[in-house]
Structure 1
Amino acid sequence: MISAPITTSVFDLFKVGPGPSSSHTIGPMKAAYDFRQRLAQLSADLQTQANSVHVLLYGSLSATGKGHGTDRAVVAGLLGWQPETTDPDALLELLQNPASSYPILVGATTILLEPQHIHFERKRYPSPYANTMVLQLRHHEQVLYQEEYYSVGGGFIIRKGEPEAIPDVQSVPYPYSTMTELKTQLTTHNLRIDELIMTNEMALTGRTRAEVNQRIDLILEFMHKAVRRGLRHKGILPGSIKLTRKAPILFRQAKGMSQSSDSFLIFLNAYCLAASEENAAGGIVVTAPTSGASGVIPGLTYLARYHFHHDKATLRAGMLAAAAIGFLVKHNASISGAEMGCMGEIGTASAMGAAFLTRCAQPSGSIKAIEAAAEIAIEHHLGMTCDPIGGYVQIPCIERNAMGAVKAYNAFLLATSGAASLQKISLDAVVKVMKATGRDMSTKYKETSEAGLALSATEC
């Protein structure tokens, strides 16, 4: 009996927005935009009493929010900006001048948001989630109205008190919540995984097959634009680390080694670094499933398109298979680095990438091979910490995107070597282990920059 089937849209998993973090940039921007919309619905009496807006950031948002641009993202959302249409250059300009204030429309009243009213609260806050933000409308110190939001990874947000929608089994033609249930649906109805995900997507969104395909093509184009920009852009990434971009250098080396057996790996590394460096610079990327892991799938799809010469239909099928794996992890564990460590971000992206490659290489879409590839990829990211130096999505994050893609490729090779049926560990089992590992992992290693590599810069 399937109690709560997965009803996430492909285009909620793959979202367009500015870097460097889906949970610390895109999520807070969406929450602040939602708060702005709710302010417009308040009574005229409350609107006219108000003279300030305050933002309180807790947990991981407080610990690494500065490096992730959380404060800029909140200002942008309160100004009415949305992730998919934000100009990344304009976003980077926000809060550059500490004396600047920003006009926030509250109904017919305009209130100036002061930078000092964005508070990074390091004290513990009673919350069920690691990334918590409280937005308040005040009259001096009196709170007239407030909302509490949780940024749960991948740009997804939850508002406190909002009734959780319980998915109806009948809301999709082929309901499933685990890989075991998904395989049962595929076998019962003699479907490929991409066909099932496509049919469910059309039912969830009301889009036609052609419209879904068009949006997948658009998502791929956004990914590949990020790769191309990253291959072209040189120089130093923003922030105190002063990290030099490497993608253009690797790309040049790869072109000079076209006859070498290693060249395709160097190309893949260059593509993944390119998209990830664009994310670190605050450029427009696609969450796949998060911004911190937004180099893995773009690098692999770029390789598949321009080196393996897969056609559009094959790439779409691979993307739908990748989405299915992302759904299963999000539904049964988490894709948030603040909850799972980096295994939730790069580990999930690598599993999605392995599923993508496997589906592209096999027209029959063997679910055994796809499951084996995804399981192998996650298994070898278990326990990976999220410990970014300085709170920036740079070290070790950028190189981890390349490493995650290489692991995805190797997982695909292992799964398609004719031994998929011999795999002892199921995807459902490894996702359960992933969730338990994330629960047991010290919060110091989950996007707080309080341990691990994050301390290496101070020890040098």
Structure 2
Amino acid sequence: MKEQISIFDIFKIGIGPSSSHTLGPWRAAQQFIASLEEKDLLAEIEGLKILLYGSLAKTGSGHGTDIAIFLGLSGADPVTFDVELVMPTFYAIKTNKQLTLENHLTIPFDYDVDLLYLFNEILPFHPNGLTFQALLKNGKAHSETYFSVGGGFVVKEGEVIDDSKTVDLPFPIENAKDLLHWCLSTGLKVSEIVLENELAWRKEEKTKEGILQHFAVMRNCTYRGCHTGGFLPGGLEVGRRAAKLNQKLIGDSEYHDYDSWIGAIKKGGNGFNYILDWVSCFALAVNEENASFGRVVTAPTNGAAGVIPAVLQYFMAFCDGYSDDKIIQFIACASEIGSIFKKGSTISAAMGGCQAEIGVSSAMAAAALTECLGGSQRQVLMAAEIAMEHHLGLTCDPIGGLVQVPCIERNTMGAIKAITASQLALQSNPDKAKVSLDVVVKTMWQTAQDMNVKYKETSDGGLAINIPLSLPEC
């Protein structure tokens, strides 16, 4: 059975800084609580142990894995929980040595004893493994293991896919070849194929409403990031740059909200340096928010959350793409490219390095921009291929286990590469291309398998071991 992935599987609203290390464990904790309730075991718990394996152990602290798990167990939801309460809630649990499960059962929990970081143990299924061990009043224990497999997706150990939850998609797609077949046989654009498939899950108006809700989070995140200064949390003392860059670029222009801000940006002209600076500013803004436990949209991950909003903002501000229909088209098209990479390779940095995050997001953005600028279906796929081809082998080596250096700047590079890839595709004949999207997806997966584990979100290699933690970001 082909994996069925919706727009809202690829794009998820959550809290930073990592989809695999924050959002995924948060969802796993929620699933564990739901499982306990289903088994009538929640009221029987008197203690809890949490075991983190592999990449979750090595970079979990810097990525907020512990925070996410506690909030998930407490009954908070990442879509709605007040981001201003994230750290106070976490510190209260650590200080009081108590954890309230699902907002009503309080149990003792000692952070230093009951949360175990198993740095040298990796479970076979995936590097991002975590186990919950509930100690029951009858002296027995109930354990469940989950894997955060990238982009906020969670798999429970031993869980079998429920065929009853599958839907009848009019255009089943496993790879780019399938997608192109449906596009050419129907004459539909990539985004139109996606929206037709989404009808198997919900009505069209609900899908469009959901896409615009996700865009609203991207928009608010970008705007807030462009107007918030200071330093990022975590100890690296990385200064936030988006706000200063925004102020420099916007100059004396007056604005009072997002729309008037976009208007002011447009009035600044279309110079190459000006546009380049704004694309970088947009990407910096989103990922500075992400690093600060702000609310973002996985695109397809949190670490790469700035690429698609930055390219979308570029399209809106400099290509006259600011309309609901164009935004829906952009996000729908991007989602299918992300889906193809997830099915054929990975969107988990712990499995494939940063090519699986920034590379995939750049490919998604390149494809979406190309379609929205009038490119053919073949040019759309070509743009995605070009963007990923030039991210192959990109490692994940976060300094201090934080999603800051080099992660934030990599979003600016991924956005610029996406725009370049789109322009190349629009000026090229895809029939002459030597590399297809499916070939580059296959190559990415081969590269991921060959990549040394120390370059897969462990902070055991690359910049993470060569930059003293006291040094500022360059």
TM-score (norm 2): 0.91
The residue that corresponds to 1:84 in the other structure is 79
**Alignment partner for residue 315 of structure 1, among 318, 323, 327?**
327
Please give the secondary structure, in 2, of the residue aligned with 1:120: strand
* Cα deviations by residue, 1:107-128 (Å, 9 ceiling, x for unpaired): 9854233323111111223321
CA distance in 1, matches of 2:68, 2:13: 15
**Match among 335, 341, 344 for residue 347 of structure 2:** 335
Q: Which of 10, 19, 23 in structure 1 is aligned with 2:20?
A: 23
Query: How far apart, CA to CA, are the structure 2 residues paired with 1:409 and 1:122?
Result: 39
Q: 2-side partners of 1:169 and 1:182: how far apart?
A: 19
- Separation in structure 1 between the aligned mates of residue 58 and residue 307 of structure 2, nearest angstrom: 26
When structure 1 is superposed on structure 2, of 298-307 and 77-86 the one drifting more is 298-307
- SS, match of residue 232 in structure 1: coil
Q: Is the Cα contact below 8 Å between 2:334 and 2:364 reproduced in 1?
A: yes
Inter-partner Cα distance in structure 2 for 1:380 and 1:405: 13
The one-letter amino acid paired with 1:111 is I
Alpha-carbon distance in 2 for matches of 1:211, 1:200: 13
Deviation at 1:429, TM superposition (A): 0.3
- The change in CA–CA distance for 1:99 and 1:431 in structure 2 (over 3 A counts) is same
Q: Is 1:123 matched up with 2:135? A: no
2:128, 2:148 within 8 Å by CA — same for their partners in 1?
A: yes
Match of 1:444 in 2: 454
For residues 68-217 of structure 1, the aligned pairs below 5 Å read 68-96=63-91, 98-105=94-101, 110-116=106-112, 117-139=114-136, 144-165=141-162, 171-203=168-200, 205=201, 207-217=202-212
Output aligned runs, 1:243-392, within 5 Å: 243-256=238-251, 258=268, 260-310=271-321, 311-362=323-374, 366-392=376-402
Q: Comparing 434-443 with 418-427, which one deviates more in the overlay?
A: 418-427
Q: Deviations over 1:351-396 (max 9, x none)?
A: 001011101100xx51110011000000000000000000000000
2:63 is the alignment partner of 1:53: no
Q: Deviations over 1:129-168 (max 9, x none)?
A: 0100000101599651010000000000000111024699
In 2, Cα distance between equivalents of 1:104 and 1:52: 11
Contact 2:337 2:363 in 1 (8 A): yes
Matches within 5 A, 1:377-456: 377-456=387-466
Partners of 1:407 and 1:248 in 2: CA distance: 23
* CA distance, structure 1, for counterparts of residue 306 and residue 272 of structure 2: 23
Question: Does the 8 Å contact 2:17/2:63 carry over to 1?
Answer: yes
Compared CA separation, residues 166 and 271, structure 1 to 2 (3 A): same
Does the aligned pair in 1 maintain the 2:399–2:464 contact within 8 Å?
A: yes
Q: Secondary structure at the match of 2:32?
A: helix
Identity %: 38
**Inter-CA distance 142–63: structure 2 relative to 1 (3 Å threshold):** farther
- Cα pair distance change 1:317/1:140, threshold 3 Å: same
> Alpha carbons of 1:401 and 1:142: their partners in 2 closer, same or farther (altered >3 Å)?
farther
Q: Is the CA contact 1:296–1:402 (under 8 Å) kept in the aligned structure 2? A: yes
Q: Does 1:232 align with 2:243?
A: no
For residues 384 and 11 of structure 1, the distance between their equivalents in structure 2, rounded to whole angstroms, comes to 26
- In 1: Cα distance, 2:356 partner to 2:432 partner: 26
Question: Is the 8 Å Cα contact of residues 389 and 454 (structure 1) preserved in structure 2?
Answer: yes
- Which whole-Å CA distance do the structure 2 matches of 1:234 and 1:175 have between them? 46
SS at match of 2:51: strand
SS at match of 1:135: strand
- The equivalent of 1:33 in structure 2 is 30
Shift of 1:320: 1.1
- Check if 1:62 corresponds to 2:23: no
* CA contact 2:53–2:123 (8 Å) conserved in 1: no
C-alpha separation in 2, matches of 1:114 and 1:229 = 36
Alpha carbons 2:354, 2:396 under 8 Å: kept: yes
- Give the superposition deviation at 1:72: 0.7
The CA deviation at 1:88 is: 1.5
1:304 Cα deviation after fit: 1.6
Task: Tell me, in whole angstroms, the C-alpha distance in 2 between the residues paired with 1:376 and 1:229.
Answer: 32
**Preserved CA contact (<8 Å) 2:74 2:103:** no
In the TM superposition, what is the alpha-carbon distance from 1:202 to its structure 2 partner?
Answer: 1.3
Letter in 1 for 2:142: Y
Deviation at 1:297, TM superposition (A): 0.6
Q: Is the 8 A contact 1:150 1:158 kept in 2?
A: yes
Secondary structure at 1:237 match in 2: coil
Partner Cα distance (1:64, 1:410) in 2: 32
CA offset digits 1:165-198 (Å, max 9, x no partner): 4699972011120111111112222222111100
How far apart, CA to CA, are the structure 2 residues paired with 1:415 and 1:105? 52
Question: 1:193-252: CA deviations, max 9, x gaps?
Answer: 11110010111x2x2212211111111111011000000000000011010001112223
3-state SS of the aligned residue for 2:91?
Answer: coil
* Preserved contact between residue 154 and residue 336 of structure 1 (Cα < 8 Å): yes
Tell me how far apart the structure 1 counterparts of residues 357 and 140 of structure 2 sit (CA, whole Å). 36
> C-alpha separation between the residues in 2 aligned to 1:393 and 1:166?
37
Distance 2:178 2:65 in 1: 38
